[in-house]
């Protein structure tokens, strides 16, 4: 019996190739979504912590304008 070659195996699975390609692309998209979600979630936490910091500044007598300035520099605008 002959050893199966890679080319012959690929031909045998020709009907499944569209599913394999879709599965690989889906896995790639899911892998790209997770770091993006982590960045957005970190930004949301940063904004919420900024508001807590601004409340502390307001209680200590500083004005709200300082909080707006901090928010602008924190957002990178």
Contact 64, 54 (CB under 8 A): yes
The 10s digit of each residue's pLDDT in 20-69 is 999 999 989 888 888 877 887 777 777 777 777 777 666 666 566 666 67
pLDDT higher for 16 or 34? Answer: 16
Contact 57, 67 (CB under 8 A): yes
Assigned token pair, 30: 């899911």
Would you list the domain boundaries of the chain? 6-75
Contact 50, 74 (CB under 8 A): yes
Residues 6+ apart with CB under 8 A from 47: 71
Assigned token pair, 22: 């879709």
Assigned token pair, 59: 């209680």
């Amino acid at each position: 019996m002959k050893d199966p070659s890679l080319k012959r195996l690929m031909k045998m699975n020709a009907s499944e190739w569209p599913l394999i390609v879709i599965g690989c692309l889906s896995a790639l998209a899911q892998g790209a979504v997770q770091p993006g979600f982590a960045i957005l979630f970190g930004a949301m936490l940063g904004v919420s912590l900024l508001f807590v910091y601004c409340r502390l500044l307001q209680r200590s007598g500083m004005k709200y304008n300082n909080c707006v300035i901090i928010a602008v520099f924190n957002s990178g605008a």
